Amino acid sequence: MDSALSDPHNGSAETGGPANGTTRPPSTPEGIALAYGSLLLMALLPIFFGALRSVRCARGKNASDMPETITSRDAARFPIIASCTLLGLYLFFKIFSQEYINLLLSMYFFVLGILALSHTISPFMNKFFPANFPNRQYQLLFTQGSGESKEEIVNYEFDTKDLVCLGLSSIVGVWYLLRKHWIANNLFGLAFSLNGVELLHLNNVSTGCILLGGLFIYDVFWVFGTNVMVTVAKSFEAPIKLVFPQDLLEKGLEADNFAMLGLGDIVIPGIFIALLLRFDISLKKNTHTYFYTSFAAYIFGLGLTIFIMHIFKHAQPALLYLVPACVGFPVLVALAKGEVTEMFSYESSAEILPHTPRLTHFPTVSGSPASLADSMQQKLAGPRRRRPQNPSAIYEESNPKDPAAVTESKEGTEASASKGLEKKEK
């Protein structure tokens, strides 16, 4: 996981020096300011929109968009897993040919990037489809085993509109695969970040503190203690970082002197900020105090990172500044408002947002929906003790207001009730 902000001014973020060994010309102050400002803006977009979409994701009914909940155990293990992955990549780049490794990784992220970008643009593209667009539903289902031991591996629902979005995303994917252009890299990076903030949910604030605290140590160690993270970030040709050229004003779109920001510096604080937004909504006060506080804290922390990096001319672990800001500011606000207990007792995974159906039991069923409905109807129509009702009540039950809800059994009840009424009238 790459989570270091690299300094373009001293060359640590460059994609490589010139072939003849000459040094690059110094960047202009305007170019540096443009690069830093663009990275800051690109980092804010997936956090803001990903947090909003995380609320809709928690309320949604689509199984393919269900969030992945991070528990305290997951949070405690994550820095260890990330460290092993980072060190493994570093050793791979040292032992094996960098060209072949990047080829395999490019194909892997080519597929992932297309899917992530398609999921990102789908809500926006739906607004441009005409009302009479022929939209059909599809389902991709892979199962393992048979009978009672059958287990779902993949269950993905999509429609024709999603296929159109997938086609548009494939164009960006081919562009990235052939050219490795920095714009295509950023499109995939933004899509990965937004999907991460939307679909990765912390179950409570304590888990968020454990995760951010662990990655705080991880980031500081691998950036200041070794050259592993910076080496992997510069060698790893995959959209795991956002880049922006500081020589854009001089060279245009073909610029090649990049400042870069790891996606970990976006997603990790972003899922914590999204958690605070859902906490704001659970308070039902029609205010987003903690969300805006943490969002402003992120801007402050990343701005401080850029300032320190520019002063010392060295790559900085952004989480060193982001974690204290994103955790400390909301906690101080909670102390001032007397809501610390509510903040740390809030459970995102156990919340029931408005209009959110929750199942507490998942029965094992088989057969078509029609047969399932018949079996349920038979159970409901089974013998049970009922209080005696007068004929008018029976007649009202057998004549519902919705004609479509009348079944054959109810028609029989209606006929018998009518005969009973006729006899009593005689």
Residues annotated catalytic, as ranges: 219, 265
Rounded Cα distance between 167 and 207, Å, is: 38
Helix, strand or coil, per DSSP, at residue 316: strand
Answer whether 213's CB lies under 8 Å from 78's CB. no
Q: How far is CA 420 from the centre of its chain?
A: 62
Pairing of strands 68-70, 200-202: parallel
The 3 state secondary structure assigned to 200-230 is EEECEHHHHHHHHHHHHHHHHHHHHHCCHHH
The per-residue b/e assignment along 231-241, b for 16 or more CB within 10 angstroms, e otherwise, is: ebbbebbbbbb
Give the residue ranges of DSSP H helices in 200-318.
205-220, 228-235, 248-251, 264-283, 289-312
Retrieve residue 52's tokens.
Answer: 């909003």
Q: How many CB atoms lie within 10 A of CB 95?
A: 8
Angle at 63 between CA 60 and CA 64, to 5 degrees: 105
Residues, the chain: 426
Place of tokens 């805006």: 292
Task: State the Cα torsion 140-144-146-151 to the nearest 10°.
Answer: -80
**How many Cα atoms within 13 Å fall on the side-chain side of residue 306?**
20
Rounded Cα distance between 130 and 132, Å, is: 5
